[in-house]
Structure 1
Amino acid sequence: MSRFRSVKKSLRDLLGGDDWQDRLAELDEYAPGELVPPLLNLRLDRSEAVRWRSVTAFGLTAGRLAEASMERARVLMRTLMWYMNEESGNLGWSIPNFMAEAMVHSERIAKEFHKILASYIFCDEECDGNFLDHPELRRDVYWGLARLAESRPELVAPSERFLLIGLDDPDAYNRAYAARVLGLLRAAAARDRLQALTDDPAEIRTYLHRELVDTTVGEMAREALAALE
Structure 2
Amino acid sequence: MPRFRALKTELRSMLEQPAWEDSLQHIISIPATQTVGPLMSFFLFGGEMKWRAITTFGLVMGKLATEDIEQARITMRRLLWHMNEESGNVGWGIPEAMAESMINSKILANEYNRMLHSYVRETSDDDNYLDHPPLRRGVYWGLGRMAKKYPELMLPSVRALSWGLQDEDNEGRGLSAWALGFIGTEANIPALESLLNDACPIDLYCDRAIHCTTVAQIAQQAIEKIKERENDN
TM range (shorter): over 0.9
Provide the alpha-carbon RMSD of the alignment: 1.3
Shift of 1:196: 1.4
Q: Does 1:164 align with 2:156?
A: no
1:39-58 alignment, distance < 5 Å = 39-45=39-45, 48-58=47-57
Shift of 1:159: 1.8
Q: Percent identity at matched positions? A: 42
1:16-165 alignment, distance < 5 Å = 16-45=16-45, 48-125=47-124, 129-165=127-163
Within 2, Cα distance between the matches of 1:183 and 1:100?
17
Within 2, Cα distance between the matches of 1:28 and 1:204?
30
Partner AA of 1:91 in structure 2: V
Unpaired runs of 5+ in structure 2? 228-233
Within 2, Cα distance between the matches of 1:120 and 1:28?
29
Shift of 1:10: 1.3
Query: Compared with structure 1, are the counterparts of its residues 6 and 208 closer, same or farther at alpha carbon in structure 2 (3 Å cutoff)?
Result: same
1:23 is paired with a residue whose SS is helix
Unpaired runs of 5+ in structure 1? none
Partner AA of 2:6 in structure 1: S
Within 2, Cα distance between the matches of 1:155 and 1:89?
32
1:213 is paired with a residue whose SS is strand
Within 2, Cα distance between the matches of 1:154 and 1:9?
40
When normalised by structure 1's length, the TM-score is 0.95
Contact 1:167 1:178 in 2 (8 A): yes
Within 1, Cα distance between the matches of 2:29 and 2:107?
24
Shift of 1:111: 0.4
Contact 1:203 1:216 in 2 (8 A): yes
Contact 1:119 1:128 in 2 (8 A): no
1:220 matched residue in structure 2: 218
Shift of 1:128: 6.0
Within 1, Cα distance between the matches of 2:85 and 2:57?
23
1:93 is paired with a residue whose SS is coil
Partner AA of 1:42 in structure 2: F
Q: How many residues align?
A: 227
**Structure 1 consecutive aligned stretches of length 4 or more whose deviation exceeds 4 Å:** none
